[in-house]
Every structure is written in structure tokens, then in C-alpha cells.
Chain A
Amino acid sequence: MSSTDQNQTVSTEAAPDSVNHEPETHAAPSSKSSGWVVFMFFMIGVVGSLLSGWILFPELLYSKKTQPIDFNHAVHLDNVSDGCESCHYFRDDGSFAGMPDLNSCIDCHEEAQTDDPEEIKFVDEYVTPGIEVPWLNHSKQPDCVFFSHSAHVIGADMSCESCHGDIGTSEHTRVYEENRLTGYSRDIWGHSISRLGKPKAGDPLPMKMNDCAKCHKEETGHKGACFQCHK
């Protein structure tokens, strides 16, 4: 479009070059063989755009970070009595403690119990100087979201795995992929950039608003009022 527009504005000067070019471009689709060429170029453009959007764009969009300590969930789960709730517990007012603070860890880890370099690093860098570990939270939601763990875990009797996946049996922490634009974890959007298909068994579920609404619609019959999940 823009090139023909330019030609029209220039044509008052009667530029012979532009006039000569126009018939060529208009004549091109008229022959069958060049129609296929145009279609091929179109498809190459479409496929190229999709590939760059689905493969290249996520690489650019997400930065990769590692947790400060390579935490072994499997070892801990074997040694505690109360499952996930041993460390990720409910407070007496019904709120959820989330990631345990240093005080919870110190009960067992005042001194390193093994020769594991990660545990020694944890004790030396965090326990002894009394610094909270800056864990990266894969499930962190924006400020406007209200999520009640007690409504889901106690009220609806859901297991931790049903949203967070098999994190409890992992031996190493995953790479934390942070969205460079929003600052949130890739887990919120879900690993599939197209959001098609289901996550692999054991993977955490995506946690966008539509994901909440979909499950609420299935389980309770309606998506719920806005204030149910917003604050």
C-alpha cells in the first residue's frame, strides 16, 4: 500500500520510473506459477513468524535463575512426619505460611548434619549469620490476587500436587524462569507458550486467571464473583 501511495504522490512530478514499476507488480498474480510463489512466500512468513514466536520469543522473554540453595525435597519428605505440612503449614488464623522461614529450618539445621556442600553452604551463608534465604517463588501471584490455601486444601480437600505438581519428590531445584517484562515466574503462564494441550504429568499447573476460572467452573458450577479471588 505504502509504495503505491508514494507513487501517487510522486506521480504529479510524472516520475517515469515509478510508472514503469507498477504494471509489473500488478501483473504478477495474474500468472498461475507466480501465484504459487506468492503463496509460498506467504507460508514461509507465517511459519517463520510462528516458529520465532513459539521458540525464539520464549528464549528472549524468560531469564533463567537458580535458587540460592539446591534444595532436595525428596530427602526432606522422607525425614519429616507430617508430609508437606511439616514445613508448609497453616497458621492458627487459617493463613498459609508458604515457604518456611529460617526459624523453621534451624530446628534441624543449626549445624550441618551431612557433608552435602549445599547444606554446608546453607548453614554458613544463611543459618549462622541469621539471614533469610531469598527463595524464588514459582507460584508468586500479582498483588491484586487473593488466594486461600485453606479454602482449597482444607475446604475442597485438594492435594498440594494437584496444582504444584510433583515438587515434593524432586531432588534438585528447577531453573527459575522469570518473565523479563512482568517479573513473574514462567509457571504462572505455563510452560507451553501457546497454552495449548495439558501440562505433563507431575508438572505444576499454569496459574493464570483463566486457569482458576476454568477449574472453578468445573468444580463449583460458576466462575465465582470477582472478589472471590481479587483483593
Chain B
Amino acid sequence: MKEKNNHKHAKRYGMVIDLDKCTGCGSCMVGCYSENNIPFKTDETNKLDSINWIRVFKITNNKPYPDTEICYLPMPCMQCDGVGKHGHSPCVSVCPAVATDYDLDTGIVSQIYTRCFGCRYCMAACPYHARKFNWWDPVWPADMEKYLSPNVSPRMRGVVEKCSFCFHRYQLARNKAYLEKREELAEDEYQTACAEACPTGAITFGDLNNKSHAVHQLIKSPKAFRLLERLKTNPKVYYLTSKNWVRRAGDNYLAHEEPGKIKNNIKEHH
């Protein structure tokens, strides 16, 4: 926590998901599964022990026909900055094994599988259910093991895993930048698998600190909100919606409270 970041221009990689554009097709989940060697079972009916780094939830306004509306809500790891953007995210602050940390250079919360001993404290701490536990060793059908990505290490039984914002893609992009003697990455050089897989372009990914990146402008939109903002977890995943009921579903609002008009009072420094 006391470590200072090396680079003058620290990055804060974040994601903006436009819920008006999301059709709930699940391409982001498929892209994520194949990109990150995520294990699956032949029977995935019990969603409580399914492992997914991004999961599309279906929410509804609970009104009878013809006023029924539904909305699909893809949820990756929110990569919480915590209060003061010091990386005091809920999971990092509780891990007894230092198996997860906050990278001050990129703002990405890591998960080190070989370090994790599976106490699942982080899962209890995470208000977004972004973390999943490996109850079994992965079993790959037929010769699928040969098709696993060498850039992401497969997990073993007894450890927690979660979305890494495809950090290996950042590393590979940086490899190329080093070769070409560049300091900065272009916006399209580092994109997550889910953002690339989305057929409607609902997912935008980039550096929130970089004015030339699309996400920098998108998060200023009046349609933008984050999930459970009042917990002060300071997530880097933003959502866009034009529907008020969707926005209300993003946090626990009392009947008289209006989303967007409540002061969050997140201190930037403390």
C-alpha cells in the first residue's frame, strides 16, 4: 500500500458497459471463457458453483405485461479503487495471504492462484460476487487441454479466481511497445476479450485517466452510474443506461431517494 507507482502517468484501466446496447447474447462470457482458460462442467445448472469472470445477469422492472421491461447486466470484476484510489479494495484489504493486490500502475486488482490458499475471505468481502471458487480441478473435454491459452495459467482445485481485465493482453502489448521503444500503449493495443467479443459494441475499454480514450468521455455522461456506489468501493466498471429503473437497481435506494442526486462523498484523498 505504501509503494509509490513508478510511472509519472499512472493508468486507471476501466470499462464502460452500455446497457441500452446489451442484448444479453453472452458473447462476452464465451470470449472470456476461451481467453482465460476458465473451467466448466458438463452440467452447469447449479449456477452457485459455476465459474465465470464476466457474467450476464437478467434484471426486470417487476411490472406486469405490457409494462414489463428487462435489462441484461454483464458483470466483470469491478476492479475497485477503494477510498482515495489507494487500492484499498474490499478483497485486497482482507486477503491474509497477499494473493491479491492492487497494481498502482494500472489500477488492476490481481489474483495469484499459486499464492491463494482458498480461505474465500475475499469472496465474502466482495459486494459484487466477482470472485469464484474452484471446488474441483478443471476437467477439459477430449483434447481441449491442448487448446488452452499459454498466456493465462490454469487454476487448480481450492483457489479463488476472478476477472483480470485480461492483464496478459496488457503484458503482451507492452512487449511490443518495448520492442518498438515506446512508453505508451495505443487504445486499441490493449482491449479485453469481452470488449472485443461484444457484437453490439456495448463494452468500451480503456484508460480512464487518458483523455484521448473513449472511456474518459463516456464516464462523464449523465447516463453513467456504477453498482453499489454508496459502499465507496469506487469501481472502475461504469454502466450507461437511459432507464431510471435500471439505475435504481444498481444500488439500494429508499422510495424517496433519486439515483444521481445522492452525494456519494467519496474522498479522493485521506
Contact = CB atoms under 8 A, between A and B. Distances in A.
Interface of A: 90, 92-95, 142-144, 146, 148, 150-151, 154-155, 220-223, 225-228, 230-231
Nearest to A149: B175
Contacts of B4: 221-222
A222 B6 contact: yes
A93 B154 contact: no
B102 A225 contact: yes
B181 A143 contact: no
Contact of A226 (B110, B171, B178): B110
A118 B151 CA distance: 35
Contacts of B98: 226
B251 interface: no
Contacts of B104: 225
B196 interface: no
Nearest to A156: B178
A93 to B, nearest CB: 5
Contacts, number: 81
Contacts of A222: 3-4, 6
Given A226-B99, A230-B110, A231-B171, 4 more contacts: A144-B113, A148-B174, A225-B105, A225-B106
A131 to B, nearest CB: 19
Most B-side CB within 10 Å, residue of A95, A143, A223, A227:
A227
15 contacts: A94-B178, A94-B180, A95-B172, A144-B153, A151-B178, A222-B4, A222-B6, A225-B102, A225-B106, A226-B100, A226-B101, A227-B110, A227-B171, A231-B167, A231-B168
A230 B112 CA distance: 7
A98 B3 CA distance: 33
List of 4 A-B pairs having minimum Cβ-Cβ separation, nearest first: A94-B175, A225-B103, A94-B176, A150-B178
B23 interface: no
A154 B176 contact: no
Contacts of B171: 146, 148, 227, 231
A223 B1 CA distance: 12
B26 to A, nearest CB: 25
B179 interface: yes
A228 B164 CA distance: 12
Contacts of B46: none
B175 A231 contact: no
B30 interface: no
B1 to A, nearest CB: 11
B179 A231 contact: no
